[in-house]
Amino acid sequence: MKKEMDVDDHKLELPDLEAKYSTSITKGLVGAVAAERLLRDGPNELRPPRGTPECVKFGRQLAGGLQCLMWVAAAICLIAYGVQEGQGDRGSADNLYLAIALIAVVVVTGCFGYYQEFKSTNIIASFKNLVPQQATVIREGDKLQINANELVVGDLVEIKGGDRVPADIRIISAQGCKVDNSSLTGESEPQTRSPECTHDSPLETRNIAFFSTMCLEAGPHPDTQASPAGTATGLVINTGDRTIIGRIASLASGVENEKTPIAIEIEHFVDIIAGLAIFFGATFFVVAMVIGYPFLRAMVFFMAIVVAYVPEGLLATVTVCLSLTAKRLARKNCVVKNLEAVETLGSTSVICSDKTGTLTQNRMTVAHLWFDNQIHTADTTEDQSGQSFDQSSETWTLLSRVVTLCNRAQFKAGQENIPVAKREVIGDASETALLKFAEVTVGTVSEARGRFPKVAELPFNSTNKFQLSVHAAGDRQLLVLKGAPERVLERCSTVMIKGQELPLDAQWREAFEGAYADLGGRGERVLGFCARWLPAGTVAAGTDPEALPEVAVGLCFAGLVAMIDPPRATVPRAVLKCRTAGIRVIMVTGDHPITAKAIAAAVGIISEGSETPEDVAARLRVPLEQVDPRQARARVVTGAELAGMEPGVLEGILRAHPEMVFARTSPQQKLVIVESCQRLGAIVAVTGDGVNDSPALKRADIGVAMGIAGSDAAKNAADMILLDDNFASIVTGVEQGRLIFDNLKKSIAYTLTKNIPELTPYLIYITASVPLPLGCITILFIELCTDIFPSVSLAYERAESDIMHLKPRNPRRDRLVNEPLAAYSYFQIGAIQSFAGFTDYFVAMAQEGWWPLLCLGLRPRWEDTHEQELQDSYGQQWTFEQRRYQQYTCYTVFFISIEMCQIADVLIRKTRRLSLLQQGLFRNHILVIAIVFQVSIGCFLCYCPGMPNIFNFMPIRFQWWFVPMPFGLLILIYDEIRKLGVRRHPGSWWDRELYY
Amino acid sequence: MTKEAKKPFRQSVAEWRQFVYNPDSGEFLGRTAKSWGLILLFYLVFYGFLAALFTFTMWVMLQTLSSDIPKYRDRISSPGLMISPKPDTALEFYFNKSDANSYAQYVSTLKKFLESYDDSKQSENINCTPGKVFDQNDVADKKACRFNLSELGQCSGKEDKTFGYSKGTPCVLVKMNRIIGLKPEGEPYIQCTSKTAWGAVKAVEQGMVEINYFPPGGSIDLMYFPYYGKSLHAHYLQPLVAVQLAINSNSTNEEIAIECKILGSPNLKNEDDRDKFLGRIAFKVQMTE
Give per-residue pLDDT as tens, A609-651.
888 888 888 888 888 888 887 788 899 999 888 888 887 889 9
* Cα(B93)–Cα(B95) distance, integer angstroms: 6
Domain regions of chain A by residue span:
14-43+130-254, 334-360+569-725, 365-563
Q: Are B84 and B107 in contact (CB under 8 A)?
A: no
Range with the largest mean pLDDT of A544-553, A638-647, A762-771: A762-771
Q: Which residues of A touch B65 (CB under 8 A)?
A: 846-847, 851
At residue A231, the 3 state secondary structure works out as strand
What is this model's ipTM? 0.92
pLDDT tens string A137-168: 888 888 888 888 888 888 888 888 777 788 88
Kindly determine whether residue B46 and residue A675, on different chains, have CB atoms separated by under 8 Å: no
A226 has pLDDT over 50: no
Average pLDDT over residues B96-117: 89
| CA-based nearest residue to A238, from A392, A42, A386 | A42
pLDDT tens string B224-277: 999 998 888 888 989 999 999 888 888 788 888 889 999 999 999 888 888 889
Rounded percentage of chain A residues whose pLDDT exceeds 90: 25
Q: Which residues of A touch B278 (CB under 8 A)?
A: 879, 881-882
Give a three-class secondary structure readout of A280-298.
HHHHHHHHHHHHCCCHHHH
Of B62, B227, B278, the CB nearest to A879: B278
pLDDT at A942: 93
Cβ–Cβ contacts within 10 Å for residue B32, how many?
13
Residues whose CB is less than 8 angstroms from the CB of residue A300 and which lie 6 or more positions away in sequence, other chains included: A76, A77, A80, A95
C-alpha distances (whole Å) from A161 to each of A165, A174, A225, A232 are 10, 11, 16, 9
pLDDT at B178: 92
Kindly determine whether residue B76 and residue A876, on different chains, have CB atoms separated by under 8 Å: yes
Of A827, A839, A882, the CB nearest to B275: A882
Average pLDDT over residues A967-984: 95
Range with the largest mean pLDDT of A812-826, A881-895, B3-17: A881-895
A125 has pLDDT over 80: no
pLDDT at B5: 44
A42 has pLDDT over 80: yes
Measured between CA atoms, how close is B90 to chain A, in angstroms? 7
A842 has pLDDT over 50: yes
Give a three-class secondary structure readout of A691-753.
HHHHHHHHHCCEEEEECCCCCHHHHHHCCEEECCCCHHHHHHHHHHHHHHHHHHHHHHHHHHH
- Picking from A233-247, A652-666, A851-865, which range would have the lowest pLDDT averaged per residue? A233-247
Q: What is the pTM of this model?
A: 0.82
Identify the closest residue of chain B to A888 by CA–CA distance.
Answer: B75
Provide the mean pLDDT of chain A: 84
pLDDT at A852: 93
At residue A49, the 3 state secondary structure works out as coil
At residue A470, the 3 state secondary structure works out as strand
A723 has pLDDT over 90: no
Cβ–Cβ contacts within 10 Å for residue A128, how many?
13
Greatest alpha-carbon span in chain A = 129
- Picking from A783-797, A822-836, B1-15, which range would have the lowest pLDDT averaged per residue? B1-15
* Cα(A497)–Cα(A393) distance, integer angstroms: 9
Average pLDDT over residues A685-693: 81
B204 has pLDDT over 90: no
Between A and B, how many CB-CB pairs are < 8 A?
A: 121
* Cα(B106)–Cα(A393) distance, integer angstroms: 127
Q: Are B220 and B190 in contact (CB under 8 A)?
A: yes
A931 has pLDDT over 90: yes
Average pLDDT over residues A73-95: 78
Q: Are A861 and A933 in contact (CB under 8 A)?
A: no
> Which residues of A are part of the catalytic machinery?
354
Q: Strand B92-96 to strand B280-288: parallel, antiparallel, or no bridges (unpaired)?
A: parallel
- The CATH number corresponding to A14-43+130-254 among 1.10.15.40, 2.70.150.10, 3.50.50.60, 2.40.420.20 equals 2.70.150.10
pLDDT at B179: 93
* Cα(A354)–Cα(A352) distance, integer angstroms: 7
Question: What stretch of H or E contains A649?
Answer: helix A649-656
Identify the closest residue of chain A to B61 by CA–CA distance.
Answer: A843
CATH for A365-563 is 3.40.1110.10
* Cα(A77)–Cα(A57) distance, integer angstroms: 27
pLDDT at A837: 96
- B29 vs B71, higher pLDDT: B71
Domain A334-360+569-725 belongs in CATH node 3.40.50.300: no
| CA-based nearest residue to A713, from A157, A240, A209, A182 | A182
A878 has pLDDT over 90: yes
- B47 vs A330, higher pLDDT: B47
User: For chain A, which residues lie within 8 Å of any Cβ of chain B, measuring from their own Cβ?
Assistant: 256, 675, 678-679, 827-828, 831-832, 835, 838-839, 842-843, 846-849, 851-852, 866, 868-869, 872-883, 885-886, 889, 949, 957, 966, 970, 989, 993
A751 has pLDDT over 70: yes
- A846 vs A92, higher pLDDT: A846
* Cα(A697)–Cα(A705) distance, integer angstroms: 8
Of A875, A885, A989, the CB nearest to B178: A875
